[in-house]
Structures are given as C-alpha cells and as structure tokens.
C-alpha cells in the first residue's frame, strides 16, 4: 500500500478516535436539562426518521442496552446525523 494511503488512514483514525472519546465524555456529563431537551427532540424525530423506511417501533420493544446497538446499526444504515441519532436513542431508551 502506498505510504500516502497509510498516512491518510492513520490520520483519519486519530481524528476519529479523539472525536469518539469526546462524544462519550459529553454524554456522560449531560445535565438533566440536556437529557430533557434530547428527549423532546427525539420524540419529534422518531416518527419521521423511522417511518422513512419502516414503521417506527416503540422503545418498550427492546431493552435500553439493545437500543444502544440497534441505533448504532441504524445510524450507519440511514446515515443519520449523529446528534439526531443521539436524540432518538434518548427517546427510545426513556420509553
């Protein structure tokens, strides 16, 4: 593989890993008010984004830890904006 491709991959991984750590930290440090804001936004997005492809499924169908994984899958499949995916996840986990 050409060195330029290796350098690009390493740079992308470095940027990506830093970003991921930051986002996980942000989620851990969210205030109750931020949780409420996300819930309200998720409640607005859930019927629209999910129904674009299939019937929106209620949060009570799955355990919160399962939604963590399913929303990662759906974020990729639907190319969802990350903040919107986070809001829908908050809504689904709160049920």
Partner 1 sequence: MRQMREERKRDREEIRSLEGKVRQLESKDSRVETTTQQLQSTDQKLKETTLELQQTNLKVQTLQTKVDAPIASSQFGDAVQQYLGSHSFTVTGAAGGDFIYDQQSGALDDLHHASQNSFFFDWEPMILYRPADWILFEGVLSTAFGSSGTGVDLSLADFQIFLNKYMTVVAGLFDQPFGDWYENQSPMWVNRFVTAPLPFGVEPVVPPAELGVQLRGGMQFGALGQDLDYTAWVGNGPSFTSPVLGAIVTSPTAVANSQTNGKSFGGRFRIYPLPVDTEWGRLELGASTYNGKWANGNWFNSWGVDFNYFVGNLQTRGEWLSSYRQMPNGQASDNRQGWYVQAGYFLTGLKVPGLPDVINNYLRRFEPLVRYSGVNQRGVSIDDIQSATGVGLGGTQVGLVPDFGINGSPATYAPHSREVALGLDYWIAPSIVWQNEFDIELPQAGGVFVSSTGAQTPVGSVPNDHAFLSEFTIGF
Q: Measured from the CB of residue 3, what is the shortest distance to partner 1 in angstroms?
A: 19
- The answer to whether the CB of 62 falls within 8 A of the CB of 70 is yes
Q: Which of 2, 12, 36, 88 binds partner 1 (CB under 8 A)?
A: 12
b/e burial code for range 58-82 (CB count within 10 A of at least 16 → b): ebeebeeeebeeebeebbeeeebee
Residue nearer to partner 1 on the CB measure, 36 or 57: 57
Q: Which residues between 60 and 79 bind partner 1 (CB under 8 A)?
A: 61-66, 68-70, 72-73, 75-79
Is 36 a residue that touches partner 1 (CB under 8 A)?
no
* Interface residue with partner 1, options 5, 20, 36, 39 (CB under 8 A): 20
Provide the 10 A C-beta neighbour count for residue 40.
13
């Amino acid at each position: 593989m050409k060195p330029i491709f290796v350098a690009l991959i390493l740079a992308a991984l470095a940027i990506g890993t830093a970003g991921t750590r930051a986002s996980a930290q942000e989620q851990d440090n969210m205030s109750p008010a931020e949780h409420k804001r996300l819930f309200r936004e998720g409640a607005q997005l859930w019927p629209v984004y999910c129904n674009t492809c299939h019937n929106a499924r209620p949060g009570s169908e799955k355990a919160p830890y399962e939604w963590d994984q399913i929303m990662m899958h759906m974020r990729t499949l639907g190319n969802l904006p990350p903040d919107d995916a986070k809001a829908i996840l908050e809504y689904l986990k709160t049920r």
